[in-house]
Amino acid sequence: MTREVFDIVIVGAGIVGLWIAKFACDRGLKVGLVEKGRCGSGGSGGLLGALLPHTPLGMNAKKRFQFDALVELPELIGAVEEQTGHNVHYRRCGRIMPIRLQSFLDTTRKNSEAARREWQGPDQSFEIDVLDSQSFGDWIDPREAPLGLFWENLSAKVSPRDLIAALRTYVARDARLFEGFTFQDFDSQTGNIGSREGRFDISTDKLIVSAGFQSFEILQSLGLDIRGDGIKGQAALYKIPNPISKLPEDCPIILDDGTYVVPQANSLLAVGSTSERQWTSEHATEPEKFEATIKRARELCPPLRNSELAELWSGIRPRSQAKDPVVGSLCPNNRIYVATGGYKISFGIAHRLARALIDEIAAGTSEIELPETYHPQP
Ligand SMILES: Cc1cc2nc3c(=O)[nH]c(=O)nc-3n(C[C@H](O)[C@H](O)[C@H](O)COP(=O)(O)OP(=O)(O)OC[C@H]3O[C@@H](n4cnc5c(N)ncnc54)[C@H](O)[C@@H]3O)c2cc1C
């Protein structure tokens, strides 16, 4: 077997690994992407696809990074769609949250002022406002929002699986994609990579571990000191039997205390999510643990009340010690890098993390500054 040699091998084809592969290919690097299952078979293969910003009050480096990422995303997605022929169902649909407390109403008004200052994109500014609880018809039950609705127009949604499929098509043109390749070890002298399957003979100059929650275990096995774990989550898709006009794709995402309702294409509504610290199986769904979430979602969103379950899904979110994404070099000779997604916000920022990392590797510098807490902590 002839050994294949790469500039970069990325371990893990989730949303983060695929964007890294995309930018590395765009730079003309020789890229290998190894994935133990199929692309998107980890936490990125889910159903929600909510792209929600932090609120602008107390703007800081982290909030600014995420704002810039959300503003630039539609153009990047548009280019990937054009080149691959995939429709990823991106839509800037906005978000609403019911207001029940005077304190939340006051904060919303402050956020509205802060948005006027801080949410200025290059071509568009974004707003936060307090709207009447009936502004979206029966999309949200007005009894849930006695003091009105927090509304903003920066949030967006995407179909996670369609975006993964589009990026897979994009990178498969120039990168070598190894699905069914379980990374096992890396010899940092020779650059040789071992796989559990033993079927492949590859080596690389740089290794980027982007294996979601499993990144921590992999990097520890390479003798690196990095800590984090995985939090399981379940989400579901519901089909609305008689779609009312304008529903569901044009409606804003509903968020209320950890319960999300995300309008998706084809009269489907995505509902999430549970947060389960104790879990044994990554992919086993447990409907009884999802009951409280769907009950709450149906109280909030009347169109869900007559809907039927189309799919229940579970996945594991990576969670670093700082609960942020972790991106950067992990050893003095700059051969091993980490790039894991954030706990809940990865789909809105993965492309920007990826571009910062590839700029750094390929050119030694990037115009994108990663927030301090995203750097690997010793
Ligand atoms: C229920 C739920 C709802 C969510 N909702 C949202 C949302 O609405 N918006 C949002 O932005 N985020 C959301 N998230 C979070 C988001 O899905 C994750 O943060 C994101 O998918 C992490 O991406 P990743 O690329 O870092 O990891 P992953 O997608 O997990 O990718 C890692 C990949 O590495 C592979 N891998 C692991 N070990 C190896 C190995 N040894 N060899 C080769 N390959 C390996 C895995 O198979 C996997 O495909 C949600 C997560 C869950 C669970």
* Summary mean pLDDT of the chain: 94
Confidence band for 267, pLDDT divided at 50, 70 and 90: confident
Q: What is the pLDDT of residue 201?
A: 92
**Global confidence as pTM:** 0.97
Across residues 57-80, what is the average pLDDT?
A: 97
Q: How many residues does the chain have?
A: 378
Q: What is the pLDDT of residue 246?
A: 57
For the chain, give every domain's residue range: 4-45+162-227+322-374
Pocket perturbation via mutation, ligand 1, pick of 34, 214, 217, 221 by most ligand atoms within 8 A of CB: 214
Nearest CA to ligand 1 atom 22: 341
**Distance from the CA of 170 to the center of ligand 1, in angstroms?**
19
More confident residue, 250 or 113: 113
**Distance from the CA of 216 to the center of ligand 1, in angstroms?**
13
**Distance from the CA of 15 to the center of ligand 1, in angstroms?**
7
**Distance from the CA of 131 to the center of ligand 1, in angstroms?**
35
Q: What is the pLDDT of residue 247?
A: 63
- Answer yes or no: is pLDDT of 241 > 90: no
Pocket perturbation via mutation, ligand 1, pick of 35, 52, 163 by most ligand atoms within 8 A of CB: 35
Q: Does ligand 1 have an atom closer than 6 angstroms to the CB of 32?
A: no
**Distance from the CA of 64 to the center of ligand 1, in angstroms?**
23
Phi and psi at 111, nearest 5°, equal -65, -35
d(CA 280, CA 318): 15
**Distance from the CA of 214 to the center of ligand 1, in angstroms?**
10
The model's pLDDT over 335-345, given as tens digits with 9 standing for 90+, comes to 999 999 887 78
Q: What is the pLDDT of residue 341?
A: 80
Pocket perturbation via mutation, ligand 1, pick of 232, 340, 347, 353 by most ligand atoms within 8 A of CB: 347
The model's pLDDT over 360-375, given as tens digits with 9 standing for 90+, comes to 999 999 999 999 999 9
Pocket perturbation via mutation, ligand 1, pick of 16, 39, 48 by most ligand atoms within 8 A of CB: 48
| The 3-state secondary structure of the chain, one letter per residue | CCCEEEEEEEECCCHHHHHHHHHHHHCCCCEEEEECCCCCCCHHHCCCCEECCCCCCCCCHHHHHHHHHHHHHHHHHHHHHHHHCCCCCCECCCEEEECCCHHHHHHHHHHHHHHHHHCECCCCECCEEEECCCCCHHHCCHHHCCCCEEEECCCEECCHHHHHHHHHHHHHCCCEEEECCCEEEECCCCCEEEECCCCCCEEEEEEEECCCCHHHHHHHHCCCCCCEEEEEEEEEEEECCCCCCCCCCCCCEEEECCEEEEEECCCEEEEECCCECCCCCCCCCCHHHHHHHHHHHHHHCHHHCCCEEEEEEEEEEEEECCCCCEEEECCCCCCEEEEECCCCCHHHHHHHHHHHHHHHHHHCCCCCCCCHHHCCCC
**Distance from the CA of 221 to the center of ligand 1, in angstroms?**
20
The model's pLDDT over 294-338, given as tens digits with 9 standing for 90+, comes to 999 999 999 999 899 999 999 999 999 888 999 999 987 889 999
Q: What is the pLDDT of residue 223?
A: 93
Tell me the CATH architecture of domain 4-45+162-227+322-374. Answer: 3-Layer(bba) Sandwich (3.50)
Strands 253-256 and 202-209: unpaired
Q: What is the pLDDT of residue 256?
A: 98
